Chains A and B, each alone.
Chain A
């Protein structure tokens, strides 16, 4: 089992919502130990793909393997290996940050003393020690992402999935998140995160998968995908964006002083 070089591999992963195909046969590959970015415009199917990969959404077809284990056939083994930070980030709002971490650790069957030790470390590193006993409902977006990441890391997962971890996060918190993630991948673990901030992906990732309209349109090592251009240029070329100036005439009222 350990000879498998890929941390994540999906085969023809498919999801429909009614008549709409959200994810149309995706073959996502992430090599073990990489810091991988899943990029794509809004509605490309990033969140849907990550939800299916992490076992939160049932696929209509295809296979998901994490470390060679089928997510939907062998959930116990897979769930012990992965950490998840979903989009939107609904947390147990009426628990304090510390309580949230210890709830999470206990759910996973980690001994209480160990949970408390790890929670203390994570809270300190995430710069949340002062707010540890405040209710999560009173946390800011950046704090929520940090406590979410702390909860996802608590059981020391092998693969970490983060859906838009930097969205709405202030630079200081973002920096903390980046530092923690770098340290984590340096130990040989895998991070997969979705984003549409190209500069960030370019700065952090060594592996990129580009999604557009429910398909993977490019995938590989960062330098291969961007092929000498900036990732942003490569991305715009891949997803077929262009058409500047469209709709300008229809906006004549915008900014006009008469109305």
Chain B
């Protein structure tokens, strides 16, 4: 707000403002927007390349002298290169398909890419590491430059580049002739830009919304709409002929064709006047979304970091913490509950888990091919793994404040108790959540009896996921920045390790879930009776292992989770 006010004053004050700017360059430093005069005499143009270099330096600096982090980065790079190459080839091979079909597939894929960019950063912390714009707040950057710079840093990264390469496959696969290729390249660039700015707008806007209490309530309700909205393509799919894939594809594409990514794909394939019109529309859209993003960013920058709940909090103890015996376990459980309620990062995590699980549950419910039991178990297990995933970096979420625990804990047992407290808190929230989900889905599938085995299995899977998460929390911890995931998931250069941690937790949790989930899904319902003991066993084993490892390497964990972003 201060910057804006100063800028407006400088603009209105006429000649006097010019003098002031000359005398005090510092005031120009706050003149971020509103002023129409050219920059201060000494200032050279700050191009996007400066931001790119800054981002690269931050990444390099964070990797220097840290083998684990370097390994994580290399792993990410290798996977990203593989994705880029395979994706590019797949899209390029559309050339071999009939024109009509190729265009349809292109349209669907482009839409999937956009949706992916919008949703994935919300679900997976740390996959993308951007510059924190608050660090730039004091530099004399006009909106345009800041936008260009932030955009440049956003695309400087392994995943955006991989994405760009994949999308370029569409030029090879769809474009016809030289003009077509030129139009295709523009279409691909616009599609890519749209993906980036949409993704940024959503995360930034959401972080702003989550800061206020009303925003949180709105968001909670919007989960329902989100789930319903996600049903639209699904309904279309099922409305079409599922026996005739090509016709179904065409049906879907004919609708998606009018969405922005659909237009991009259509333009790449069309290459004519219609394509030019579509590209013009896309360009305007990118600018508008970009503009909104920067507006959201500015708002976020001058808003207080916290949820501004300066009001007192109720000094209450939950029922559970009152029931638990006095001591560290009760302390950790109580703290975790308060954090789940008060920390926006925690809320985003729960929001994402519930939303995705809900979408999955309803999507599966539309098909007639799967049985009621599988319908209930699939999403419930997925939800359990996703909730477990949130605990794959337990200490990272607390960040630097974990010193407070580590100056107390003098044994592996103490660390184990800490993890047990975290698990207990998660379970108390997750178990009713999963149960509700399972019951709703089972009722919808008109197979209420399947709720019991499905619920048991989901609880077991949750236990397994938590066990794996405990181990990743101490083996591959990483810094989660204070400023929510909106601007960034992990500190620059830690994206790789965050990715590795999520991957290990997901694959590990998934694999350990199979022994109970698979038999139940294939009809051996009695196995679900073993699910809960199995889950408890795995989570106990995970805590046991993690407690000892945690105690042995807690100074290293502290360092890993205290990186500046």
Interface residue ranges of B184-241 to A (CB < 8 Å): none
List 30 contacting pairs A-B, 8 Å CB cutoff, sorted by A: A17-B65, A56-B555, A58-B555, A75-B411, A76-B410, A76-B411, A79-B408, A84-B407, A88-B400, A90-B399, A90-B401, A90-B562, A92-B339, A93-B482, A94-B338, A96-B312, A99-B335, A103-B335, A106-B327, A106-B328, A107-B332, A133-B314, A134-B310, A134-B312, A135-B310, A135-B342, A138-B306, A138-B309, A257-B23, A259-B41
Q: Which residue of A lies closest to B398 (CB)?
A: A92
Cβ 8 A contact of A95, one of B42, B327, B338: B338
Question: With A106-B326, A135-B342, A259-B42 in contact, is A78–B410 under 8 Å at CB?
Answer: yes
Decide: A107 and B315 in contact? CB cutoff 8 A.
Answer: no
What sequence of 0s and 1s flags, for each residue 146-172 of chain A, a beta carbon within 8 Å of any chain B beta carbon?
000001000000000000000000000
Q: Is A112 an interface residue (CB 8 A)?
A: yes
Decide: B312 and A133 in contact? CB cutoff 8 A.
Answer: yes
Decide: B328 and A109 in contact? CB cutoff 8 A.
Answer: yes
Decide: B343 and A94 in contact? CB cutoff 8 A.
Answer: yes
Q: Which residues does chain B contribute within 8 Å of A107, judged by CB atoms?
A: 328, 331-332, 404-405, 408
CB distance from A108 to the nearest CB of B (A): 6
* Docked CA distance A208–B81 (Å): 57
What sequence of 0s and 1s flags, for each residue 43-58 of chain A, a beta carbon within 8 Å of any chain B beta carbon?
0000000000011111
Q: Which residue of B lies closest to A82 (CB)?
A: B407
Q: Which 6 A-B pairs have CB atoms at the shortest separation, nearest pair first? A: A90-B400, A76-B410, A106-B331, A133-B312, A75-B410, A94-B342
* Docked CA distance A103–B400 (Å): 16
Decide: A138 and B327 in contact? CB cutoff 8 A.
Answer: no
Q: Which residues does chain B contribute within 8 Å of A96, judged by CB atoms?
A: 312-313, 315
Q: Which residue of A lies closest to B413 (CB)?
A: A76
Decide: B327 and A55 in contact? CB cutoff 8 A.
Answer: no
Q: Is A91 an interface residue (CB 8 A)?
A: yes
Q: Which residues does chain B contribute within 8 Å of A257, judged by CB atoms?
A: 23
What's the interface size class on A, roughly?
Answer: 35 or more
* Docked CA distance A34–B92 (Å): 76
B residues lining the A interface (CB < 8 Å): 23, 25, 41-42, 64-65, 305-306, 309-315, 326-328, 330-332, 334-335, 338-339, 342-343, 398-401, 403-411, 482, 555-556, 558-559, 562
Q: Which residue of B lies closest to A56 (CB)?
A: B403
Cβ 8 A contact of B65, one of A18, A86, A88, A138: A18
Q: Is A104 an interface residue (CB 8 A)?
A: yes
* Docked CA distance A151–B401 (Å): 13
Q: Is A243 an interface residue (CB 8 A)?
A: no
Q: Which residues does chain B contribute within 8 Å of A86, judged by CB atoms?
A: 403
* Docked CA distance A91–B306 (Å): 14
Cβ 8 A contact of B313, one of A54, A58, A78, A135: A135
Q: Is A217 an interface residue (CB 8 A)?
A: no
* Docked CA distance A103–B338 (Å): 11
Question: With A18-B65, A92-B335, A138-B310 in contact, is A56–B407 under 8 Å at CB?
Answer: yes
Q: Which residue of A lies closest to B553 (CB)?
A: A58
* Docked CA distance A84–B402 (Å): 13
Decide: A104 and B404 in contact? CB cutoff 8 A.
Answer: yes
Q: Which residue of A lies closest to B326 (CB)?
A: A112
Decide: B315 and A94 in contact? CB cutoff 8 A.
Answer: no
Q: Which residues does chain A contribute within 8 Å of B559, judged by CB atoms?
A: 57
Q: Which residue of A lies closest to B340 (CB)?
A: A94
CB distance from A162 to the nearest CB of B (A): 13
* Docked CA distance A230–B405 (Å): 40
Q: Is A98 an interface residue (CB 8 A)?
A: yes
Q: Which residues does chain B contribute within 8 Å of A133, judged by CB atoms?
A: 312-315
Decide: B401 and A106 in contact? CB cutoff 8 A.
Answer: no
CB distance from A87 to the nearest CB of B (A): 10
CB distance from A146 to the nearest CB of B (A): 16
Q: Which residues does chain A contribute within 8 Å of B405, judged by CB atoms?
A: 107
CB distance from A115 to the nearest CB of B (A): 9
Q: Which residues does chain A contribute within 8 Å of B411, judged by CB atoms?
A: 75-76
Q: Which residues does chain A contribute within 8 Å of B406, judged by CB atoms?
A: 55-56
* Docked CA distance A216–B337 (Å): 45
Q: Which residues does chain B contribute within 8 Å of A112, judged by CB atoms?
A: 326
Q: Is A197 an interface residue (CB 8 A)?
A: no
Q: Which residue of B lies closest to A130 (CB)?
A: B312
* Docked CA distance A57–B306 (Å): 29
* Docked CA distance A7–B305 (Å): 41
* Docked CA distance A104–B334 (Å): 12
Cβ 8 A contact of A92, one of B64, B328, B401, B409: B401
Q: Is A186 an interface residue (CB 8 A)?
A: no
Q: Is A137 an interface residue (CB 8 A)?
A: yes
Question: With A75-B410, A90-B400, A151-B404 in contact, is A135–B330 under 8 Å at CB?
Answer: no
Question: With A90-B401, A135-B342 in contact, is A55–B335 under 8 Å at CB?
Answer: no
* Docked CA distance A96–B342 (Å): 11
Q: Is A111 an interface residue (CB 8 A)?
A: yes
* Docked CA distance A77–B17 (Å): 65
Decide: B339 and A94 in contact? CB cutoff 8 A.
Answer: yes
Decide: B407 and A55 in contact? CB cutoff 8 A.
Answer: yes
Q: Which residue of B lies closest to A152 (CB)?
A: B407
Question: With A86-B403, A106-B331 in contact, is A56–B306 under 8 Å at CB?
Answer: no
CB distance from B415 to the nearest CB of A (A): 11
Q: Which residue of B lies closest to A72 (CB)?
A: B555
* Docked CA distance A82–B558 (Å): 19
Cβ 8 A contact of B315, one of A54, A93, A99, A109: A99
If A18-B64, A94-B339 are given as contacts, then 17 extra A-B residue pairs at C-beta distance below 8 Å, sorted by A number, are A56-B407, A57-B559, A90-B562, A92-B335, A92-B339, A92-B398, A94-B342, A99-B315, A99-B334, A106-B328, A108-B408, A133-B315, A134-B310, A135-B313, A138-B306, A138-B309, A138-B310
* Docked CA distance A17–B332 (Å): 33
Question: With A56-B406, A78-B410, A84-B407 in contact, is A109–B401 under 8 Å at CB?
Answer: no
* Docked CA distance A108–B403 (Å): 14
Q: Which residue of A lies closest to B555 (CB)?
A: A58
Q: Which residues does chain B contribute within 8 Å of A95, judged by CB atoms?
A: 335, 338
* Docked CA distance A88–B398 (Å): 15
Q: Which residue of A lies closest to B41 (CB)?
A: A259
Q: Which residues does chain B contribute within 8 Å of A82, judged by CB atoms?
A: 407
Q: Which residue of B lies closest to A90 (CB)?
A: B400
Q: Which residues does chain A contribute within 8 Å of B25, judged by CB atoms?
A: 259
CB distance from B43 to the nearest CB of A (A): 11
Interface residue ranges of A62-88 to B (CB < 8 Å): 75-80, 82, 84, 86, 88
Question: With A76-B410, A135-B309, A137-B306 in contact, is A91–B401 under 8 Å at CB?
Answer: yes
Question: With A58-B555, A90-B400, A111-B326 in contact, is A99–B338 under 8 Å at CB?
Answer: yes
CB distance from B476 to the nearest CB of A (A): 18
* Docked CA distance A107–B309 (Å): 26
Q: Which residues does chain A contribute within 8 Å of B334, judged by CB atoms?
A: 99, 103, 106
* Docked CA distance A15–B311 (Å): 44
* Docked CA distance A54–B554 (Å): 13
What sequence of 0s and 1s flags, for each residue 121-138 of chain A, a beta carbon within 8 Å of any chain B beta carbon?
000000000000111011
CB distance from B61 to the nearest CB of A (A): 12
Q: Which residues does chain A contribute within 8 Å of B403, judged by CB atoms?
A: 56, 84, 86, 90
